[in-house]
Copies of this chain bind each other. A is one copy, B any other.
Amino acid sequence: MTSNQNDPAASARGSQLASDFTVSLHYDRRLYREDIAGSIAHARMLARQEIMSAESVASIVEGLQSIESEIAAGDFPWRDDLEDIHMNIEARLFDLIGDAAGELHTARSRNDQVSTDTRLYSKGAALELVGAVRAAQEALLQQAEAHMQTVVPGYTHMQRGQPVSLAHHLLAYFEMLDRDAVRFSAAAAAADVSTLGSGAMAGVPYPVDRQSVADELGLDRITANSMDAVSDRDFALDLIYAASVCMLHLSRLSEELIIWSSNEFGFVKLGDGYTSGSSMMPQKRNPDFAELTRGKSGRVVGNLMAAMTTLKGLPLTYNRDLQEDKEGLFDSVDTMLAALGVVRGMIESATFNADKMRYAAESSYVLATDVADYLVGKGMPFREAHIIVSNLSEQAANSGKYLHELSLAEYQAASELFDEAVFDITVDSSIAARDVEGGTALNRVTEALAAAKARLVASRHDK
């Protein structure tokens, strides 16, 4: 057997690398509140179950509360030689209360401890994100309310398709965000479970009361299988996934704000706090925040891919690979919260140029389908009406006109069914005609707005 295991140089290198490779303190220190809450709940339960003495528990709880204060105040003596938040708190607790600190190991392992800490964090973060989504929806709602009668071209393939109410357009994003709130809520529910009592993986050999710990932590339930409990990271995937989809939605909204901010479109002017520009070029308003929001969708999607790749093919139960669960989770939550705040602010600060939007809607052939529908309404078969309007449109285009610029004579040359009423076909009448649930007619958008408001109100009561 060849051995260079005791090569001191190799060992030294190993030790040094450890400080780069295994250390998580720089990111997991933010779990301090969750870690301390978990330890206190665990200790109190041990006392209730008479596994630990009342004195020990009192000492532990007091010590942990001091530590929480120290950290919150910025006075905590962080030790970089201790690689994570848990070791730091534990070591400090020994400093403060002595050997009683060691009793916290009773009926608990690092595996179930870390897992519950991360679930507490995830639940809290997911609920905070629901709130941020609601705030962004509120901003959309306010702009929608202000723009019920603002006309904008609706686009397919980036081509003007049909005129719609700007409110209707904005409420499309309200719907996307509504689904995001559902996903974030589901992620909160997925995390709302205590693993404490699972030990390293097989359960603990003490008569613990797991549900009471969960209750004290405000967690809904306890895990059903200890081996799954310490190796499951689905709740983190669920949260990063929900954030990925929400970021994709925001990337779509940002894309529109960017294009609408171009000189060519000129549909929107974002608030000064959300653009940068050049004092020498007064019209240049770089939508940096929208661009970063769009760009940062990559970061969150990347975090999802990272977590999935890490989990692929891992055998049961705890493997150190799982330590990689947190950094991408934290980054996703931070990015998501910031992006939702930015989007809210951009929407709130946006000034829409109703004149340009209406002009764009009118400078097109988007009314052609309405003209065809007019003929169908007069009894003409759909196909025939389509052919007549196609010819009319071509004829108008050839003479540099839009449909509504044709004369009645020109209309009637195409079909005797046309009369003066054809001039009643306007972007406004076109909008009014889409009088169907979910359609852009004013009464429908009014209904949709009311329903959206009601959902926001209900969501506040849900909490």
Contacts and interface: CB of A to CB of B under 8 A. Distances in A.
A17 interface: yes
A397 B291 contact: no
Given A198-B438, A438-B225, A302 B291 contact: no
Interface in A260-287: 261-265, 269, 271-274, 278-287
Residue from A205, A383, A433 with most neighbouring chain B CB atoms (10 Å): A205
Contacts of A339: 21
B201 A154 contact: yes
A406 interface: no
Interface in A162-177: 162-164, 168-169, 171-176
Given A288-B320, A324-B292, A438 B197 contact: yes
A7 B169 contact: no
Given A205-B370, A252-B314, A302-B303, A273 B393 contact: no
B245 A237 contact: yes
Interface stretch (A30-38, A69-77, A119-127, A360-368): A360-368
Given A255-B314, A319-B291, A434 B159 contact: no
A161 B200 contact: yes
Contact of A160 (B4, B199, B256, B263): B263
Interface stretch (A57-65, A85-93, A341-349, A411-419): A341-349
Contacts of A111: 156
> How many copies of the chain does the oligomer comprise?
4
Contact of A279 (B322, B342, B393): B393
Nearest to A355: B1
A423 interface: no
B352 A324 contact: no
B171 A225 contact: yes
A164 B348 contact: no
Nearest to A429: B205
Contacts of A176: 228, 232, 234
Contacts of A353: 1
A219 interface: no
17 contacts: A2-B354, A3-B351, A7-B271, A14-B274, A18-B273, A154-B317, A173-B228, A208-B436, A224-B451, A234-B245, A282-B393, A282-B394, A292-B323, A294-B312, A298-B305, A298-B307, A298-B311
Given A2-B351, A10-B349, A156-B319, 16 more contacts: A1-B354, A7-B271, A10-B273, A13-B344, A20-B338, A157-B286, A157-B318, A159-B284, A172-B316, A174-B225, A176-B234, A199-B439, A203-B435, A206-B436, A279-B386, A279-B390
